[in-house]
Structure 1
Amino acid sequence: MTGNEPMRDQAIAWAVRTGDPAFDDWDGFTRWLEADPAHSNAYDKVVAAVGEAVEAVPPTPKAENDDMPAEGPTRRRWIGGAAALTLAVVAAFGAWQFRGGSYTVETAPGEVQLVKLDDGSQIAVAGGSRLVLDRNDPRVASLEQGQALFTVIHDVSAPFRVTVGDDTLVDVGTIFDVKRAKGALSVAVSEGAVVLNPEGQNAHVARGQMLTLDTASGRYRLGEIVTEEVGEWREGRLTYHDAVLADVATDLSRATGLTFEVAPSSAAHRVSGSILVEPIRTDPQTLGPLLGLAVRRDGKVWEIEAN
Structure 2
Amino acid sequence: MNNSTQFDAARQARRITEQAVSWYIEQQEPLTERQRVAFLAWLRASPRHVAEYFAVVQMHGDFKAAAALKTLTVEQLVDQAGRDNPVVMFPMVGSAIRKEHVARPGRARRMAMRAGGLAAAAMMAWLGIGYWRDANGLVERSFQGDVAAVRAVTLPDGTLVQLDRNSVIDVHFDKRFRRIEVIKGNALFDVGKDMRRPMLVNVGGHVLQDIGTVFDVKRDASGDTLTVISGRVRVLNAADESKQGGIAALLSADPVADLTTGQQISLSVSGVSIKQPAQVAKVTAWLPSEIRFQHETIGNVARRFNAYTSKPLVIENGSIADERISGIFHADNPQAFAAYLATLPDVRVVEERDRVRIIASNQTDTKAGHL
TMscore range, shorter length: 0.3 to 0.5
- Larger RCO of the pair (alpha carbons < 8 Å, separation 6+): 1
Structure number with higher strand proportion: 1
TM-score scaled by structure 1? 0.43
| TM-score normalised to structure 2 length | 0.36
